[in-house]
Structure 1
Amino acid sequence: MNLLGYKIRESYPSLSAPSKSVVNTINPHSYCVAKKDSEFRDSLEASDILLPDGIGIVLAARILKNEKIKKIAGYDLFLNLMQQLNETGGTCVFLGAAPETLEKIHKRANMDYPNVKVHSFSPPYKPIFNEEDSHLMCDKVNSVSPDVLFVGMTAPKQEKWVHQNKANLNAKVIGSIGAVFDFYAGTVKRPSKFWINLGLEWLPRFLKEPKRLAERNLVSTPKFVWEVLKERVKQ
C-alpha cells in the first residue's frame, strides 16, 4: 500500500525467503523526521518491508485509502522473528545497547527461546560511526552470519546505518527495532496491553518522560495530522 509516499506492508518477513530483507517501521514521528532528513527518508524508502508502527499510520490508511490495516510495532516484529528462529533452531545477533542490557537480553532469550542461538555486540556510543567502527560492527555480525540481525541504536541512526552497510552484512533479515532492546531487557517498561489495544501506547510513555518525548507527541503528531488532512483535501 502506498501511503504518503511510502510503500507500507502489513506483513512479517520470512526466514525462508531467498533474498536478504531489511525491515523498518514508520510512525508519525519518523515520517516527520524524514521530511527534514533526506538520508533517513532514503533509508525508509529502501526498506524491503516497511511496517505500520503507530495508530497514526493506521488511521491515515483508513482516511486516505479506506483500508483497515493492523499496527505492527517493532516489538511485534521481534516476537515474530524470535518465534520463527525458535522453531527452526536459528541464530540471531543483537547489535546495539550497553553490555548490561545485552546481558539481560541473553538471559531472558535463553529462557523464552531455548532453541535460538543468541549473539550480541555493543558498538561504541557515539552519534555517528566512522568507517572503522562500521567495519568492526560488520565483522562482528559476519563472524556469526545470523538468520536475523536486530539493530537497536535509536532512529534515525539505526536505519541510516543499516542502509549504508546492508551490502556488507551477512544476515537473512535485518530489523531496526530501537527501544525493543530496553523493553525486552526490562530496563524500560513497555506500556500494558490495555494501552496498546486502545492505540494509546504512546500516552504512558509520554507521561513518564514528557521532556524527551515532547517533540514526538506535541510537534510531530500535529504535523502528521496536517499532512494527512492536506492529502485528503487533494483527493
Structure 2
Amino acid sequence: MPNNSIKSFGFDIYATSLDHLPTHHQTLVNTINQYSYCVAQNDFEFKNALQKSDVLLPDGIAIVAAVKFLNKIKIKKIAGADIHEYCLKKLNKNHGRCFYLGSSEITLNKIEHRLKLEYPNITVQTFSPPYKAIFSEQENEEMLTKVNNFKPDVLFVGMTAPKQEKWATEHKSKIDAQLICTIGAVFDFYAGTVKRPSKIWINLGLEWLGRLLKEPKRMWRRYLYYGPVFILDILKLKFSK
C-alpha cells in the first residue's frame, strides 16, 4: 500500500494532504469518484490502472463518505482541480515546467493564456492528440516524443476517464516527468470552456449537484444511476463482513 493511503473498497485511497505527496520517485496521480469506481467494476484495465496509482485521490464526497463508513476514518475530498492548483503554485514558485496533453487546441490555447497571467514563472507546452478511442502506435510515440523533448516537471493528462488513466499507466515507464496527473475535466474548467460549480456548492459537498443542474443530459446517469449503484455496493461490502 502506498504511503499516506488507506485500503478501502479494493483501492488504496490517499488519506492526507497534498503537502505529503511523494517526491523521491516518479509519481502517477489518478483520482477516483463513485462513477469511476462503478465503471471500473466492469472494466478490468481501468480498475488495474486505478489500483496501480502511486496516489489515488478521493475526488468526490461519496468516496469520502464511503471511507468513513467502512474504515471509520475521516479523510478530505481532493479533486483534480485541487492537485492542479497545488502543482501550479509550486511550479510558479520554483520556475518549473508543465505539459498539458489532451483536449482541443482551443482549450489548450486558453489554458496557456491564463497561465501567463496567473503563473508567469511557469514554462508550459501543450499538445492536442487526435480525438479517438484508441491511439495508434505512431500517435503514442508522437505524444511521448513531444512530452519527453520538453522534459516537464509535471505532466497533466486530460483525455477523459477511463482513457487517460489507462494511457498514463501503460506509458508511465516511458514518460520523462516527475509527476503525472490525470485530471480530465480540469482542462475545461481552467480554460473556462466549462464552468465549474461555485465554491458554495463545493464547500457544501454538493459539487455533483451543481454539475448535474448545469449539464443534466450528460450527467444524470453518472449521479442518478451510478450513485445508488455505488451506495448499494458499499452497503454490501459493509454487511458481508
State the TM-score, normalized to the length of structure 2: 0.95
Q: Which runs of 5+ in 2 are unaligned?
A: 1-5
User: Is residue 2:163 matched to residue 1:157?
Assistant: yes
Alignment of 1:40-189 (within 5 A): 40-189=46-195
Segments of 5+ residues of structure 1 without an aligned counterpart are: none
Shift of 1:61: 1.1
The answer as to 2:13 corresponding to 1:8 is yes
Whether the aligned pair in 2 keeps the contact of 1:152 and 1:179 (CA below 8 Å) is: yes
CA distance 1:55–1:14, shift in 2 (3 Å): closer
What CA distance in whole angstroms lies between the structure 2 residues aligned with 1:69 and 1:174? 23
Shift of 1:218: 1.6
Task: Give the superposition deviation at 1:130.
Answer: 1.3
Deviates further, 123-132 or 14-23:
14-23
- Match for residue 31 of structure 2? 25
Answering whether residue 213 of structure 2 is matched by residue 207 of structure 1, we say yes
The runs of 4+ residues in structure 1 deviating greater than 2 Å are: 10-16
Cα 1:100–1:91, aligned 2, differ >3 Å: closer, same or farther?
same
Q: Is the 8 A contact 1:44 1:50 kept in 2?
A: yes
- For the residues of structure 1 that align with 2:94 and 2:149, how far apart are their CA atoms? 20
Cα contact 1:24–1:176 (8 A) shared by 2 = yes
SS in 2 for 1:143: helix
Whole-Å separation in 2 of the counterparts to 1:21 and 1:101: 26
Give the drift of 1:12. Answer: 2.5
- Alpha-carbon distance between aligned partners in 2 of 1:56 and 1:94, rounded to the nearest angstrom: 28
Q: Hey, what's the Cα distance between the residues in 2 that align with 1:231 and 1:99?
A: 44
What displacement does 1:18 show?
Answer: 2.5
What displacement does 1:14 show?
Answer: 6.7
Aligned pairs for 1:218-229 (under 5 A) are 218-229=224-235
Q: Deviations over 1:118-168 (max 9, x none)?
A: 110011111111111110000010011100000001000100010111111
Q: Say if 1:15 and 1:173, in contact at 8 Å, map to a contact too.
A: no
8 Å CA contact 1:148–1:175 kept in 2: the answer is yes
**How far 1:234 sits from its partner (Å)?**
2.4
Aligned-pair CA distance for 1:15: 8.1
Root mean square deviation, CA, Å: 1.3
Percentage of identical aligned residues: 53
